[in-house]
Amino acid sequence: MFEDAIGPEVVMNVYDPITKMQGVVVVDNTALGPGKGGIRMVPDITVEEVFGLARAMTWKNALAGIPFGGAKSGIKAHGTNHHKHELVKAFAEKIKPIVPEIYIPGPDMNMGEREMAIIANTIGTPKAATGKPADMGGLPHELGSTGFGVALATEVALEHARIPIEGATVAIEGFGNVGTFTMKFLTEKGAKVIAVSDSKGTAYLESGLDYQRLMQVKKEKGSVIAYPGATVLEASQLFSLKCDVLIPGARPNVIHVGNAHHVKARIIVEAANIPMKPEVEHELAKKGILIIPDFVANAGGVISSYVEYIGGSEKEMFAMVRDKITSNTRLVIERARGGNLREAALEIAEERVIEAMEKKCNCKLKR
């Protein structure tokens, strides 16, 4: 099993014989507050996978500096299931005893604001889920909180590397919710996004891509590669482009032993979860590349969830994301002192969780 000094506190397998819904919840640690983490709907979900994601949320929430613990859950089904509404409702009924006091769900793979509305309505309180529709007091991810946070982390990294943001060259993998808003906020600050990729390939333009025009092209033509005047490259070629900042923002393990030696960026800001394994990070850091880890850079979404949970506004959300992402990125860089930023970030997060646990039990933990 996977128990240690941190958790998990709750492992809950649920089943509904009428809808045949199978689900799992793992609440890893609640020392800092109720466990927060999304629900994903995938056919091959396992307890081990959910635990790994819950532990990642423990560290992310602790480092973000919000009063949430770590948790995650999953429903074992295809995201396109015709009975999705019934499955989500059945899942909500089963987790009712621990929501929202112990666990607060949010959107994840194949789960969006509509499903969060079902959960909140089934359990009977708006606090039962975050990422709800705006008319239910939600702060949907469509506001761009994660991309805003990634842009802020990038700004801090550039500042540390003494590279002016005005004219800094950026390559972004992925043009979904995170990638689009990251580009929007960076170009507003004067950065030059020279390359963007999606599933069809990479659009590269040395003079810089225009955000509004790229959004229009993506909407009308279905891919960034239709951008007028851009050189079309393979999606994978984005990682070897010469630029100041490389932002992997879509899939896991896109930078690996096979292509890491081609990376020419001076800074990597991890917008996606686990875009490379820790050992690859370590090798790139040894080459002098500054790498801002995923759970530092992409915490804007969970900070937004907290603001929604306490009934805050869109304006308050952006202010809190700005404050926390900026200060935490600076703190991690300072703690690392030129060393491994992921290790420094984990150290800070673990210290915060252990301190909260010791305060709660009025004891000293054996580790």
Catalytic residue, chosen from 20, 36, 60, 72, is: 72
Structure tokens at 274: 């686990």
The H or E element containing residue 203 is strand 201-204
Please choose, from the candidates 46, 52, 86, the residue with its C-alpha nearest in 3D space to the C-alpha of residue 295.
Answer: 52
The H or E element containing residue 114 is helix 113-123
**175 vs 238: CA distance, rounded Å:** 13
Structure tokens at 203: 């659009």
Answer for the pair 289, 265: CB distance below 8 angstroms, yes or no: yes
Active site residue 72: yes
List Cβ neighbours of 165 (8 Å cut-off, separation of 6 or more): 155, 158, 159, 186, 189, 190, 191
CA distances from 149 to 167, 181, 239, 270, 367 (A): 20, 9, 22, 11, 33
Strand partners, 169: 192
The H-assigned helical ranges of 243-313 are 278-286, 294-297, 300-309
For residue 100, which phi and psi values (nearest 5 degrees)? -100, 5
**57 vs 156: CA distance, rounded Å:** 23
Show which residues are catalytic. Answer: 72
